[in-house]
Structure formats: structure tokens, C-alpha cells
């Protein structure tokens, strides 16, 4: 399986990092080795002094597809989840300044936390899903899928122009504002519509 991530999909986060608003979705990939194994803590890698949490809605692909039109995109995913795109912000800033790819900052081992998935039918509307990240029992990020620049169906369509989507692939749909540094000892919990879908320790 592969992990496809969308960057800059919420305007409030774009201004937070002083990025330009993109004219098309920003895409990057994480390998399957980036998946943080269940029940393991997130270990801050030695090469970074500034790893940020980015909580994101996840979409799980259920069927192979390429050149999918937005109209039919809903047939290609069946589950919605929540995860964290852990980002070595200091490394990313260096790479960005040099115009280099982001993989060292975004695709390292353990950088993809994938929480529990929920059947998409259990949501009244996929364009009004509330989600939250709590750090040490305080809300640090709060989002709603209605604030996405590109909606899930548009993302599926766009991504499938470049990459064949396969069953089991996961799309990280971008983070809202509130990203910040994780520290040794933090406990991070993710919620979709008030339901806890992950809990993790930082070491």
C-alpha cells in the first residue's frame, strides 16, 4: 500500500506557515515503512529538534482506479479515519529553502500515525466532519472537513491523474491550523465527532 498526503488544504494553516495558497493540491508520498506500528510510541528522530503534529482526516481506498472523475470518486473509498502526519519542521524548512523534496522531513519511519477507521456511511455528511487533536488533554488542533480547499472527491480525482489508487491505500487530506512541536512525554489523542480513534505517547 502507499500513503498519499495532501499539503496546504486548509487556508488557516497556509497562513500559519506563511505559504502561498496553491492553485492545485500539493501532493507528497510516504512509504509503508512510515506507518507507526500499533501500540508503539512515537519516537522523536535524532535528526530533528522540531517535530510537529499535523492531525488529518484519512481516506481509505477500497478499489483500484485511475483517472477517476470527481462524480464517481465516492465509489473508490469506504472508510474515513484520523491520523497524524508527523513533520520534522526544521528539516522541511531547510529543504523548502533549497527547493528540494520533503521526504526526509515527512516520510521517515514512524511519521504516519493511522488511527481507527469508521465506515463513511456513518457520517451524515463528509463535508461536515469535526475532528480534534488533544495533547495532554488540551485541544491543540480542531478542524472541520467543510473548511478543506479541495474536498475528498476532488482530491481522489486529482491524485488519480498521477497515481493509480489501489485497495488499502490511504490519503492524508491535509491539516488545519494549530500545528506545534511534540515533546517527550506528550500524550496525543485524536477524535472524530467526539469518538476517540487514537492515543499515543511521544518519546
CB-based contact 175:10 (threshold 8 Å) = yes
Q: Which is nearer to Zn ion, 89 or 134 (CB)?
A: 89
Buried b (16+ CB within 10 A) or exposed e, 32-48: eebbbeeeeebebeeeb
Stretch of 65-73, 116-124, 141-149, 171-179 lying at the interface with Zn ion (CB under 5 A): 171-179
Q: Least distance (Å) from Zn ion to the CB of residue 131?
A: 13
Nearest partner of 180 among 94, 87, 102, 82, judged by Cα? 87
> CA–CA distance from 30 to each of 4, 114, 123, 157, 185 (Å)?
7, 12, 27, 19, 25
How far, in Å, CA of 159 to CA of 148, rounded?
Answer: 16
User: With respect to Zn ion, which residue has the nearer C-beta, 30 or 134?
Assistant: 30
Contact by Cβ (8 Å): 128, 144: yes
Distance CA 131, CA 93 (A): 27
Q: How many residues bind Zn ion (CB under 5 A)?
A: 3
Position among 85, 132, 153, 169 found at the interface with Zn ion (CB under 5 A): 85
Q: Which is nearer to Zn ion, 56 or 153 (CB)?
A: 56
Binding flag, residue 54, Zn ion (CB under 5 A): yes
| Per-residue binder mask for Zn ion (CB under 5 A), 106-145, x = binder | ----------------------------------------
Q: How far is the CB of 145 from Zn ion (least distance, A)?
A: 15
Q: Stretches 94-102, 109-117, 123-131, 168-176: which one binds Zn ion (CB under 5 A)?
A: 168-176
Which of 11-19, 36-44, 82-90, 120-128 is the region at the interface with Zn ion (rule: CB under 5 A)? 82-90
Residue placing its CB nearer to Zn ion in the complex, 50 or 74: 50
Instruction: For Zn ion, give the closer residue by CB, 85 or 153.
Output: 85
Q: Minimal CA–CA distance to 144: which of 55, 63, 62? A: 55
Instruction: Decide whether 17 or 74 has the Cβ nearer to Zn ion.
Output: 17
Binding site for Zn ion (CB under 5 A): 54, 85, 175
Amino acid at each position: 500500500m502507499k500513503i498519499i498526503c495532501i499539503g496546504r488544504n486548509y487556508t488557516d494553516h497556509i497562513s500559519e506557515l506563511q505559504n502561498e495558497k496553491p492553485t492545485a493540491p500539493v501532493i507528497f508520498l510516504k512509504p509503508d515503512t512510515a506507518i507507526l506500528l500499533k501500540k508503539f510510541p512515537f519516537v522523536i528522530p535524532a535528526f530533528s529538534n522540531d517535530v510537529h503534529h499535523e492531525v488529518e482526516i484519512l481516506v481509505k481506498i477500497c478499489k483500484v482506479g485511475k483517472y477517476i472523475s470527481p462524480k464517481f470518486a465516492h465509489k473508490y473509498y469506504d472508510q474515513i479515519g484520523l491520523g497524524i502526519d508527523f513533520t520534522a519542521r526544521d528539516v522541511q524548512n531547510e529543504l523548502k529553502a533549497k527547493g528540494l523534496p520533503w521526504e526526509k522531513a515527512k516520510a521517515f519511519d514512524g511519521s504516519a500515525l493511522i488511527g481507527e477507521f469508521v465506515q463513511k456511511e456513518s457520517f451524515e455528511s463528509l463535508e461536515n466532519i469535526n475532528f480534534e487533536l488533544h495533547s495532554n488533554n488540551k485541544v491543540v488542533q480542531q478542524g472541520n472537513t467543510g473548511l478543506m480547499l479541495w474536498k475528498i472527491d476532488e482530491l481522489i480525482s486529482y491524485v488519480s491523474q498521477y497515481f493509480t489508487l489501489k485497495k488499502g491505500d490511504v490519503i492524508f487530506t491535509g491539516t488545519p491550523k494549530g500545528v506545534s512541536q511534540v515533546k517527550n512525554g506528550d500524550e496525543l489523542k485524536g477524535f472524530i465527532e467526539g469518538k476517540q480513534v487514537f492515543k499515543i505517547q511521544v518519546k
